Amino acid sequence: MEALREVEDPELGMDIVELGLLYDVAIDDSKVTVTHSLTSMGCPAGPMIQEGIHDAVQSVPGVEAVDVELTWDPPWTPELMSEDAKFILGFG
């Protein structure tokens, strides 16, 4: 989870955890599956964010395989952001 705080949405300049884009992290022995969303279906930073997720998790000692899954269920909304992110981005 801490490694994923290093992955930023370059358009918003905040990490995916604070933005509420990280939905689930499942660990099965040395395989980690990360389920996330994006702020919109047309997010141009999507591939960059997915690569960042993969690289951040792969760098964790003991992780041998990483699966990055994009979901739209539930759709992301600003309500999923942390209180700090809402404040910084003017949503509250």
Q: What is the pLDDT of residues 16-50, one digit of tens each?
A: 999 999 999 999 999 999 999 999 998 899 999 99
Cis peptide before 47 (omega within 30 of 0): no
Model pLDDT, residue 71: 97
Contacts of 25 (CB under 8 A, 6+ apart): 1, 4, 32, 33, 34, 35
Q: Percentage of the chain with pLDDT > 70? A: 99
Query: What is the value of pTM for the model shown?
Result: 0.93
Closest CA to 16 of 30, 43, 59: 43
pLDDT at position 57 over 90: yes
Full set of structural domains in the chain with CATH: 3-72 (3.30.300.130)
**Contact at 8 Å (CB) between 32 and 57?**
yes
